[in-house]
Amino acid sequence: MAFPQHSPYVIVGAGIHGLSTAYHLALKLQATGKGAGRDIIVLDKSGIAAGATGIACGVIRNNYFQPAMRELMAHSVKVWESDPQAYSYHPVGYMQISPESMHADVASIYQQQRAIGYESTFIEGEADCSKYMKGLFDDWQAQNITSVLHEKPGGYANNTRAMYGLADKLEAEGVRIITGVEVTGFGKDNSGAISEVETSKGDIACDFVVIGAGPWARQFWEMLELPKTISIKNPDNGELTNGVPMWVYWSLQEGVLGVDPKLQITNDGKLPPVIHVDSDAPLYCDEDGSLITDQMWGIYYKPDFHFGGVQGGAAPFIVDKEADTVAVDPYGASSPEFIVGPDFARMWVSALAHCQKRFAGTMPKYKNEPSGGLGAFTPDSFPVFDRFHQNCYFIADSNHGYKMLGVGKLVAEDICNTASPELLKPFRFSRYQKGELHPVSNSPFPWS
């Protein structure tokens, strides 16, 4: 098939946001009589799920301190539940296990989950938390835990398998996915609107563009000549902080322990919820007993047959000196050592053993292979979903990406309707200048 010279809708990125938007936009266009799937093309310089989506942990949860994030995730969970087979979705649930310093935050999350009808169970007090966890895992031994929030919906999806299932859906609607095509720039008309997408294979005239580029967000942001630095209004005193960098890169710490996934099952032989533990207990190395940290730490993990072991991660760290380089190509020149810090395996496996005795002595089974990745974070570490240059919709997920399958559906509605979905309004770019910022929790993770 010839390379297209025109398409009403051009979507950049064949990861979760690009594919979800393309699929739901095709459905929306057909439902409203404004077009069909054949009016949409998806471009990617590599392939389906070739970037961050392809190595994501795949966790799907609603564990957010921020009300706007919590409501957005509840919406996304429903989209995952709409076709679990195609999306390779495992609704095993999710657990936030926390120390006393996070007790009030997690209690607030529980109350607000109840308010929106999101089913969860909340356990308080060290003795009751220990009893609850040992009811699931008889070898549970984590210390200093005073709250457990057990979300009954949610779980995880097999990352690439889910995306190929989604790709099948949108291609069935007539959407064309074109891989091996790099977007190099954008042409504008006299009004400033995007008139064409410039690519390595030729220019494509278009009526509307959607950017869903994950960690390549900064590259496309600069192609669109959007501001490199911004001003942020303090919501408490109204003061402006100027010159704040729009993008910060974090190295995401994830990996796989190469044990039989069935090692991590519950007492009754079932697949367990995804486990997330934040702790202020001292963490000691499982191999030699040396102190790894006496500061707050956090991990998450799950058995995953797709990865062939127990897969999960830990808190990320900021990438500084390489930021300009990774903004150009966050993955192309990155080694596994750069993507995952050199001490990650020691910390993560030791933390697994701290939580459950079954993981003691498993350090040699850690898989030393590329995992994790790099995330392009916004100034407040929360997403930006907004329209620029009149007809360019920018999806900047700030590394909340994989779990947010429902964002594409909302963006499709936003593109086709005059009324913007309420769930997207708290994520407009204008929030920085207005001081309409999201509340900050006590979690060691920047996205919670």
Q: Report the amino acid identity of residue 386.
A: D
Asked if the model's pLDDT at residue 336 lies above 90, the reply is: no
pLDDT for res 347: 95
Other C-beta atoms within 10 Å of 180: how many? 11
pLDDT digits (tens, 9 = 90+) for 57-71: 788 888 888 889 989
pLDDT for res 446: 60
Listing DSSP states for 371-412 in one string gives: -SEEEEE-TTSS-EEEEETTTEEEEE-TT--TT-TTHHHHHH
Asked if the model's pLDDT at residue 289 lies above 90, the reply is: yes
Of the pLDDT bands very low, low, confident and very high (cuts 50, 70, 90), residue 220 is very high
Domains within the chain, CATH numbers bracketed: 1-58+158-228+381-448 (3.50.50.60)
Mean pLDDT of 281-296: 96
Taking alpha carbons only, the member of 408, 429, 412 closest to residue 420 is 412
Residue 196's region, left for phi above 0, alpha for psi from -120 to 50, else beta, is: beta
pLDDT digits (tens, 9 = 90+) for 435-448: 999 877 766 666 66
Percent of the chain with pLDDT over 90: 74
Other C-beta atoms within 10 Å of 184: how many? 13
Mean pLDDT of 2-30: 96
Mean pLDDT of 23-38: 95
**Dihedral, CA of residue 24, residue 27, residue 30 and residue 31, to nearest 10:** -100
pLDDT for res 337: 39
Phi, psi of 334 (to 5 degrees): -90, 135
pLDDT for res 328: 47
Of the pLDDT bands very low, low, confident and very high (cuts 50, 70, 90), residue 372 is low
Mean pLDDT of 315-339: 53
